[in-house]
Amino acid sequence: MRHKVLLALAAATLAGGVSAQTQGDPAKGQVIVQQVCAACHGIDGNSVASSNPTLAGQHPAYIVSQLKAFKSGQRKNPIMLGMASALSDQDMSNVAAYFSQQKPKEQQAADKTLLEAGKQLYRAGNPVTHVPACMACHGPTGAGIPDQFPRLGSQQSAYVLKQLNDFKAGTDRKNAVMGDIASRLSDAEMKAVTEYISGLR
């Protein structure tokens, strides 16, 4: 029962955080990416640094919602605050449209010994600690659900691990649902599930 409540709250919380956006122009977005975003996220949205997310193939509405969160200070990151502050709503939509059309590069788990445990958690959750299956919101292949839940597949495990820890701490990232879920995950579970996520495609 608790799993169903968490999933319902997740849908309401995340769907409510992704508002309607103007139509993006990928060509104009590419210009901004070349000038502003490429150094950290790659010209095609595939970051080579594990501290930066891969944006290739990400849902455009989710990218816009996160850029707005950085700009407003709701999501804490001094570098992204500076970058997002210079972007208009239309700029954000253009950047999001460009990144969403790029193809994410395949990733591999760094520690394959954790894959089975990660797979179990991602697909079935942990009923003992009331952790729901990750795939209920992010899909069996990590593709997410457009306008509701972000794509996780092909993200570097170190990046996803930091996000889970940030949700758990409730400082840099605040989300009631993900904060609750992350608080129920052990460090070992977080490591295992993020290794599994990195190899999803």
For the residues of 81-106, what is the DSSP string, one character each? Answer: HHHHHT--HHHHHHHHHHHHTSPPPP
What's the confidence (pLDDT) of residue 2?
53
Nearest to 128 by CA among 178, 185, 197, 187: 185
Residue reference for tokens 């609750």: 180
Q: Is residue 164 within 8 Å of 185, Cβ to Cβ?
A: yes
The encoded tokens of residue 86 equal 């210079």
Residues of the chain below pLDDT 70 = 1-21
What's the confidence (pLDDT) of residue 14?
44
pTM given for the model? 0.88
Residues 96, 12, 134: CA angle, nearest 5 degrees: 75
Q: Is residue 201 within 8 Å of 106, Cβ to Cβ?
A: yes
How many angstroms separate the CA atoms of 50 and 64, rounded? 21
What's the confidence (pLDDT) of residue 110?
87
What's the confidence (pLDDT) of residue 22?
76
What's the confidence (pLDDT) of residue 108?
87
